[in-house]
């Protein structure tokens, strides 16, 4: 199984993308992990290290793909530390 | 079968996304059409009408998802008419 990680922050853009994109992934090939960066703040740095710059983002086999444009991680970092 | 349309313009960002994203789609659920907007200029307006603003973009069941940021359709339009 290959690994897909879907990073989001609960925004409407994120949820729409989650519904459509994750349903479209081949579940026989990909094990999908869904991470809400508002709830799992420790994952923000891990996401950044994978090249994630905004959410929603889908990481396929370690390669980040940014979907539409929801929220920049920089803004999210500021929000969670306030 | 549901319909997926992948719009691109041959850019490196587009090709990387094409390899990864299209391979990850469930081929039992989705019939995928790949359109190179440099070659099929008449499709640019159709893509715009679907809400596509930049390529690469994946349209799933009529909903557009912009992947990373390759090229704005506005720029592409200018390029093909020059």
Task: Write down the pLDDT at residue A59.
Answer: 95
For residue B68, what is the nearest residue in chain A, using CA coordinates?
A66
Beta strand B2-8 with B54-60: parallel, antiparallel or unpaired?
antiparallel
Range from A16-20, A71-75, B55-59, B62-66 carrying the lowest mean pLDDT: A71-75
Contact between A69 and B68 using a beta-carbon 8 Å cutoff? no
| Residue from B44, B55, B72 nearest B21 by CA | B55
pLDDT tens for chain B, 82 residues: list them: 899 999 999 888 788 889 899 999 999 999 999 999 999 999 999 999 999 988 999 999 899 999 986 667 777 777 655 5
Task: Write down the pLDDT at residue B27.
Answer: 92
Beta strand A54-60 with A2-8: parallel, antiparallel or unpaired?
antiparallel
Average pLDDT over residues A22-40: 94
Contact between B68 and A66 using a beta-carbon 8 Å cutoff? yes
Task: Kindly give, in sequence order, each residue whose CB lies less than 8 Å from that of residue B82, ignoring residues fewer than 6 positions away.
Answer: none
Question: Which candidate in A1, A18, A26 is best for mutational testing of the B interface (most B CBs within 10 A)?
Answer: A26
Contact between A63 and B24 using a beta-carbon 8 Å cutoff? no
Provide the ipTM. Answer: 0.76
The two three-digit tokens of residue B33, written as one number: 């059409």
Task: Please tell me which of the candidates A20, A27, A29 has its beta carbon nearest to residue B63.
Answer: A20
Largest separation between any pair of C-alpha atoms in chain B: 41
Distance CA B63, CA B60 (A): 5
Is residue B17 classed exposed, middle or buried when 0-12, 13-18 and 19+ CB atoms within 10 A define those classes? Answer: buried
Average pLDDT over residues A45-63: 92
Evaluate whether A20 touches B61 at the Cβ level (below 8 Å): yes
β-bridge partners, B66: B57
Report B:24-53 residues touching A (Cβ under 8 A). 24-30
Contact between B67 and A69 using a beta-carbon 8 Å cutoff? no
Task: Write down the pLDDT at residue A13.
Answer: 79
The sign of the dihedral angle between the CA atoms of B42, B47, B52, B56 is negative
Task: Write down the pLDDT at residue A23.
Answer: 93
Task: Kindly give, in sequence order, each residue whose CB lies less than 8 Å from that of residue A60, ignoring residues fewer than 6 positions away.
Answer: A2, A4, A30, B20, B21, B24
Contact between B65 and A63 using a beta-carbon 8 Å cutoff? no
Prediction pTM value: 0.82
Q: How far is B80 from chain A (nearest CA, A)?
A: 24
């Amino acid at each position: 199984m290959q690994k897909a990680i879907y990073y989001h922050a609960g925004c409407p853009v994120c949820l729409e993308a989650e519904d459509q994109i994750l349903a479209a992934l081949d579940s026989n090939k990909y094990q999908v992990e869904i991470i809400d960066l508002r709830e799992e703040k420790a994952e923000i740095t891990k996401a950044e290290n994978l090249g994630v710059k905004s959410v929603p983002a889908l990481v396929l086999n370690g390669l980040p793909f940014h979907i539409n444009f929801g929220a920049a991680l920089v803004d999210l970092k500021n929000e969670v530390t306030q």
